[in-house]
Copies of this chain bind each other. A is one copy, B any other.
Amino acid sequence: MKRIAIDMDDVLADAEGRFFELAKLRYGLDINPIDLHDKTWAQAANVPHEEIWAWLFEEDFFRKMKVKPHSQEVVKKLSNKYEIFIVSAAVEFPQSMKEKLDWLHEFFPFIDWKYVVFCGHKYMIKADYLIDDHQKNLATFTGKPILYSAYHNKNVKGYTRVEDWKEVEKLLL
């Protein structure tokens, strides 16, 4: 059975949507998605980096992300044919890990805790596929990398790109 490693933020969970929501709530900004192309959230909102960075350590920042459309049904289908591991670089945000487990338990209750990995680097994960939105993770991965589209990676070239979970389904099922 082939193994797929799946990232969380901006792949299963709508991290950019959470940013748009808080940028509106806190700064009254309607961020244009194009402003995230090759930019950090702080650059897009035109506020100091430290200010946005602090969000990532706030209670419920990760817990309240919305689930990406069709991710639940497609991951469920994939799990019949592949071994699924959720691999999130969450160790940087210690308080996020329990929230991420609670979030997975709510939206992906069929994924057992033994198949959840919180890490920093991902290059030591042995899998056939990695679905991730960050080039740094895909570039060093030893299996087949799949770039999950996000506004921030629109200009990244050289990877198999999927726009949404329906495209993942077509690609892998």
Question: Who on chain B is nearest to A97 by CB?
Answer: B97
Q: Size band of the A side of the interface?
A: 20 to 34
Residue of B with least CB distance to A5: B124
Cα(A115)–Cα(B120), bound, Å: 6
**Contact present for B120 and A114 (CB under 8 Å):** yes
* Complex: A97 Cα to B3 Cα, angstroms: 25
Query: A121 in the interface, Cβ–Cβ < 8 Å?
Result: yes
* Nearest CB in chain B: distance from A153 CB, A: 20
Pick the contact of A94: B97, B114, B115, B125 (CB < 8 A): B97
Given contacts A113-B91, A113-B92, A126-B126, contact A118 B142 (CB under 8 A): no
Known pairs A92-B114, A94-B97, A112-B120 / 18 extra A-B pairs, C-beta < 8 Å: A3-B124, A85-B124, A91-B116, A91-B118, A113-B120, A114-B119, A114-B121, A115-B120, A116-B119, A117-B117, A117-B118, A117-B119, A118-B118, A124-B125, A124-B126, A124-B127, A125-B125, A126-B126
Q: Can you identify 8 A-B contacts, CB atoms within 8 angstroms?
A: A5-B124, A85-B124, A91-B113, A97-B118, A116-B119, A117-B119, A124-B126, A124-B127
